[in-house]
Amino acid sequence: MGLLPGPLSPRLREAVVRVGTWIPSFARGAEALAYFTGVRVGAETVRRQTEAAGAALVEMETAEAARLQREMPAPPDGPRVQQLSADGAMVPLRGGEWAEAKSLAVGEVEAARGADGEPVARAVGVSYFSRLTDSAAFGRLALPELHRRGTATAGTVAAVLDGSPWLQVFVDLHRPDAVRILDFPHAVESLTTAVQATLGVGAVASAAWLARHAHELKTGDPDAVLAALAALPVHDAADPDAAARQRDESLAYLSARREQIAYARFQAMGLPIGSGMVESANKLVVEERLKGPGMHWDRGNVDPMLALRCAAANDRWDEVWPRVVRSLRRATDPCPTRVRRPPGLSAAQASRPVRRPRPPRPRVAPMPADRPKTIVGGRPTDHHAWKKAAALAVARKAGAAPSTKR
């Protein structure tokens, strides 16, 4: 019949997990479910069912990553130009701790026109993968999504990233020949920090210098921008030492990535220069669901939610859910009927079925051997209860009650 453990029907359980995945809180998800289906379940039920389904999905995706590493099957054909971008977003955990959830965004690059009519390169068909883990594990676990998108066989891969070193290791693992591009807003941010330390925050001179050299960096010669950065008059700053230190840090940051800031050449090749799609991934997959007011997550429940969020955001729910159901059929009900726990018993002991002793059978007195018969030949005798009742009624009418003793 396709039933799952527990009292919920398969369709209702999917609805519970869907609202737990999309709606910003489990309590609001329970309210939405009651409104649209007329079925009332508690917020705790929504939470447990959602986390159980997400854990099953994480387990399947982890196993798939191990299988791909082990068997190395041929990947599907990738697009002519593909963009990869990755970044992290902080998630609040219980106990006041924060941890970084890493996200990958993959899209196919196509030529388009901007609002000013100029040609731009945009990523379409973007899909996401997110996990709360270290960078090495993230690189391994992202393999199924990259395999599905044909990253290994794509014609050109543009890795548009910020300056974090772990991102370069990630690209080395999956597509070492990718065109590496420093996200343009990050480069401009580095220029901004240096010029404001020298010419002042909010100063007209700072804004003019930044506008001129940001445009030059995007459309012209990056070496000219590096030279202008080195020539900033830090000795005239309000704090010359701090200004010199910030200028040197920005100059070292951009100089070390000189090949990644050739934005005019990248745009001429039809490649994107911004990593906005992974910023969208951080908001859509992570922050909208896991950074609500007052939210604090158990570390082990973050990845299940991220896996479900990616399946929904990637429009792959109908493909993924049947496999989740097959896994859930082999599991126990995450929301068993609650029983009152006797004092001194653990939850595991209280959940075991209680074996109650059978009550003793009542003892039946043996029938006397001289007991008169009440039915003879199919007819009641004078000792039958009916005859006794009739005789008692006649005696009462006559004014004398007969003895009922045998």
DSSP E strand stretches across 53-208? 81-92, 98-113, 119-131, 156-161, 179-182
Determine the pLDDT at residue 352: 54
Q: Is residue 225 part of a domain?
A: yes
Give per-residue pLDDT as tens, 207-255.
Answer: 999 999 999 999 999 999 999 999 999 999 999 999 999 999 999 999 9
Would the pTM count as exceeding 0.85? no
Q: Is residue 390 part of a domain?
A: no
Task: Report long-range pairs for 225-231 (Cβ below 8 Å, ≥24 apart).
Answer: 225/191, 225/254, 226/251, 226/254, 226/255, 226/258, 229/191, 229/194, 229/254
Q: Whole domain around residue 38: which residue ranges?
A: 10-72+297-329
Are residues 196 and 254 located together in one domain of the fold?
yes
- pLDDT of 347 over the 60 cut: no
Q: In the chain, what percentage of residues exceed pLDDT 70?
A: 88
Are residues 174 and 202 located together in one domain of the fold?
no
- pLDDT of 391 over the 90 cut: no
* Amino acid, single-letter form, for residue 373: K
Are residues 139 and 212 located together in one domain of the fold?
no
Q: What is the mean pLDDT of the chain?
A: 89
Q: What's the rounded mean pLDDT across residues 156-178? A: 96
- pLDDT of 342 over the 90 cut: no
Give per-residue pLDDT as tens, 278-327.
Answer: 999 999 999 999 999 999 999 999 999 999 999 999 999 999 999 999 99
Please, which pLDDT band fits residue 339 given cuts at 50, 70 and 90? very low
Total domains in the fold of the chain: 3
Are residues 41 and 176 located together in one domain of the fold?
no
Least confident range from 5-14, 107-116, 285-294, 342-351: namely 342-351
Residue burial 302-317, b: 16+ Cβ < 10 Å; e: rest: bbbbbbbbbbbbbeeb
Are residues 218 and 309 located together in one domain of the fold?
no
Give per-residue pLDDT as tens, 190-217.
Answer: 999 999 999 999 999 999 999 999 999 9
Q: What's the rounded mean pLDDT across residues 146-152? A: 98
Q: Is residue 304 part of a domain?
A: yes
Q: 49 with 13: CB under 8 angstroms?
A: yes
